[in-house]
């Protein structure tokens, strides 16, 4: 069986899109995904399954929580590759909450990805965009929303500390 890491977009943003993680785990079990683990309240789900988990999780979000947002799914093996491919290793060590990865819903158009990489602090690799925020996240013009707009794709962002924690949890499933 494959271990999957699902990254939910736009959940638990202040008063919007409330998805209690305990309820989500119970609903995923009822949908055929027993043993799902969650991390934090920002919509990180790890599950071991041979099923196509993305559509199942999306369906649970739509029917139970009335939330119609994309779910970015990566295998445990792919998450390890993403960590290994980090183009900003110094940031991962010294500023793990300022190094972010935007997990995209699809592969970006090559020309748009190349244009985005004109910024020294952004690297696009496959369906992931690495952003080194350097000294500030909030108010930074280089951000996940800008990346999504320029690439024309939905995505969800996680900081490096969260990504490495998700990899640790996934390894235990």
What's CA 100's distance to the chain center, in Å?
10
DSSP state of 129: E
Q: What is the pLDDT of residues 34-44, one digit of tens each?
A: 999 999 888 89
Of 38, 62, 77, the residue at which a domain comes to its end is: 77
Same-domain status, 48 and 87:
no
> What is the tally of structural domains in the chain?
2
Q: Please state, in angstroms and rounded to a whole number, the distance separating the CA atoms of residues 103 and 148.
A: 10
15-24, 109-118, 151-160: which has the minimum mean pLDDT?
A: 15-24
DSSP state of 74: E
Question: CA–CA distance from 117 to each of 38, 47, 121, 134, 136 (Å)?
Answer: 32, 33, 8, 16, 19
Question: CA–CA distance from 107 to each of 7, 36, 152 (Å)?
Answer: 16, 27, 10
Give the chain's length: 173
Nearest CA-CA partner of 67 in 6, 14, 16? 16
Q: What percent of the chain has pLDDT over 70?
A: 99
Q: What is the pLDDT of residues 74-133, one digit of tens each?
A: 999 999 999 999 999 999 999 999 999 999 999 999 999 999 999 999 999 999 999 999
Same-domain status, 84 and 145:
yes
Q: What pLDDT, on the 0 to 100 scale, is given for residue 132? A: 97
The model's pTM:
0.94
Of 24, 42, 77, the residue at which a domain comes to its end is: 77
Same-domain status, 97 and 162:
yes
Q: What pLDDT, on the 0 to 100 scale, is given for residue 17? A: 81
């Amino acid at each position: 069986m494959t271990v999957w890491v699902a990254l939910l977009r736009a959940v638990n943003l202040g008063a919007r899109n409330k998805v209690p993680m305990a309820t989500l785990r119970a609903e995923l079990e009822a949908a055929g995904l027993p043993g799902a683990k969650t991390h934090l309240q920002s919509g990180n789900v790890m599950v071991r399954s041979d099923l196509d988990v993305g559509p199942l999780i999306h369906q649970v979000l739509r029917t139970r929580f009335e939330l119609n947002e994309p779910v970015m799914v990566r295998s445990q093996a792919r998450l390890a590759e993403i960590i290994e491919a980090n183009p900003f290793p110094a940031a991962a060590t010294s500023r793990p909450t300022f190094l972010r990865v935007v997990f995209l819903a699809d592969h970006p158009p090559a020309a748009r990805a190349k244009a985005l990489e004109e910024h020294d602090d952004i690297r696009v690799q496959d369906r992931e965009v690495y952003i080194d925020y350097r000294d500030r996240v909030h108010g930074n013009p280089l951000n996940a929303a800008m990346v999504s707009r320029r690439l024309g794709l939905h995505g969800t962002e996680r900081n490096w500390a969260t990504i490495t924690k998700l990899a640790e949890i996934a390894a235990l499933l």
